[in-house]
Amino acid sequence: MSYVGPDFDPPQPRRSPLRRPLTVAVAAVVVGSVAGWGVWQAVGDPGGGDDGSQRAAARDEPRTAPPSSTPSAGPTASEGGAGQDDKDGKKGADGEKASPTASSGAAADGPLKGKVVVIDPGHNSGNFRHTAEINRKVDIGTGMKECDTTGTSTNDGYTEAEFTLDVSRRARALLEQQGATVKFTHDGNREWGPCIDERARVGNAAEADAVVSIHADGSAAGNRGFHIILPGAVHEGSADTRPIVGPSRDLGERLAGKFVRETGSAPSNYVGGGTGLVTRQDLGGLNLSTVPKVFIECGNMRDSKDAALLTSGTWRQKAAQGISEGIVSFLRG
């Protein structure tokens, strides 16, 4: 693991059970320092973080075949996305009940009161049944690109669309507890889509303070870890990302640091040069955005070790925690 950036704390090793008596013995002393720790925690996070060079192997999109098709040979940093057809109470791949479909309602009072966050859950479980619709080309500012893709899946058939919507709902609940107003591009209530241009418009219309598009990759076995996709400077046609490049990088770096800390996952070993950060200029979901926006590929569904994490409800909660804390860090400055 070589990620260095804002909010980065390496995962801590498990403590031996033999240390518990000692921990209890000094508990009274430790209590007195909690207040001071709370003050430190409230202080803004440091800046920094190096950008990694983009590997030539990075691919455009996941395939547009049903999730059971043959895995691709390279990373699939995918466009846009939202949803699955799950309703309340449907269980995830590990048997844990999925997080609620509906938002908890009005945002609570909290440090993010007045802030608007848009979460873009990657893909839609129905996309593979609507290939004509999702293959239709839409304008991404710099050219034309397919409306959306099917996304990928684990070898056991747990789809990216299921994963992204579950993590998105978990992150929404956490952000609303902090007082943020959270909007989705899609919440499992559409047969397919929306298209990548529509996804970008949702964030723009909301005048979002931050937008995060949640995905999982479909690369070759042995390729592991997460990466954050940042918008490059694009000024062509109707696309002009120049105003959002700087704040999007800040968002991405903070997101990466918090994701490492909460999940224990390492940055990608196949793109980003170990930084977990990749800059791209070919994704419509980024090119059309007028507000700070990044993509996160949470892991590789086609690697058995990563897939074991992605299909775990416990790990998905950690992923949601890392994503939400990265957004909180960015919004609080």
Q: What positions carry a catalytic annotation?
A: 297
Phi and psi at 258, nearest 5°, equal: -70, -35
Q: Are 136 and 146 in contact (CB under 8 A)?
A: yes
